[in-house]
């Protein structure tokens, strides 16, 4: 794996992610305000387990990815086992199980977009971000680019997602300009 990207991660988490000898460096997430927010989420469901997806989203918002240490904390808070949480995390593709670049780029390449040239868009992103390879992070830690299955925006080929933003109708030619918007 490449050097941990800056941004989105705390210093300690980055250290813990790459040095297994430092597991104690983990700082609990569900304290203070975030704990209050989770408690509010819990009121929406009849079971604690049902708050698992929302809780994982909170982790990812805060830390940029879902580390094993975070899974263990979520497990404790929701009264399930860490193994259970991991089974769920690995099922859903949107939870990052390792740190990603400061900006996470997802390009739809499923057939409807594929026939409209989506693969050219992917190639343009790989080239212009410098990440070079699907799933790899660019050396400056700025971008991770992946192919994604149908984003539900097929009429606006090629749709991409950068972080929370959906950009429709992207062509390979527009890629450099789009990248420039995400420092």
Total number of residues that touch another protein (CB under 8 A) = 53
The helix or strand, by DSSP H or E, that contains position 11, with its residue range, turns out to be: helix 11-18
Its sign, for the CA torsion 12, 14, 17, 21, is: negative
| Binding partner of residue 95 among another protein, ligand FES, none, CB cut-off 5 to 8 Å per kind | another protein
From the CB of 181, what's the least distance to another protein, in Å?
A: 16
Q: Which long-range contacts (CB under 8 A, 24 or more apart) does 166-173 make?
A: 170/107, 170/121, 171/117, 171/120, 171/121, 172/117, 172/120, 172/121, 172/123, 172/124, 173/124
Question: In the window 59-118, what residues touch another protein (CB under 8 A)?
Answer: 68, 71-72, 78, 80-84, 86-88, 90-95, 106, 109-116
β 160-162/103-108 pair status: antiparallel
15 binds another protein (CB under 8 A): no
- The correct pick among 3, 150, 166, 173 for binding ligand FES (CB under 6 A) is 150
Give the C-alpha separation, 137 to 142, whole Å. 7
> CB–CB of 39/33 below 8 Å?
no
* Beta carbon of residue 96, minimum distance to another protein (angstroms, whole number): 10
> Which of 39, 149, 171, 181 touches another protein by CB under 8 A?
149
Scanning residues 85 to 114, which ones bind ligand FES (CB under 6 A)? 108, 110, 112-113
Which positions touch another protein (CB under 8 A)? 44-47, 49-54, 56-57, 68, 71-72, 78, 80-84, 86-88, 90-95, 106, 109-116, 148-157, 161, 164-166
């Amino acid at each position: 794996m490449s050097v941990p990207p800056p941004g989105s991660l705390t210093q300690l988490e980055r250290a813990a992610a790459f040095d297994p000898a430092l597991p104690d460096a983990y700082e609990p997430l569900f304290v203070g305000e975030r704990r209050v927010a989770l408690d509010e989420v819990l009121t929406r469901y009849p079971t604690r387990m049902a708050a698992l997806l929302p809780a994982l989203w909170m982790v990812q918002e805060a830390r940029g990815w879902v580390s094993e240490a975070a899974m263990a904390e979520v497990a404790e808070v929701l009264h399930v086992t860490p193994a259970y949480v991991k089974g769920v995390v690995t099922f859903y593709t949107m939870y990052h199980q390792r740190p990603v670049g400061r900006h996470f780029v997802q390009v739809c390449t499923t057939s409807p977009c594929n026939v409209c040239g989506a693969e050219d868009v992917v190639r343009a992103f790989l080239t212009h971000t410098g990440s070079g390879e699907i799933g790899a992070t660019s050396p400056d830690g700025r971008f991770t680019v992946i192919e994604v299955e149908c984003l539900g925006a097929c009429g606006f080929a090629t749709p991409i997602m950068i972080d929370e933003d959906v950009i429709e109708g992207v062509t390979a030619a527009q890629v450099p300009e789009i990248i420039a918007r995400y420092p």
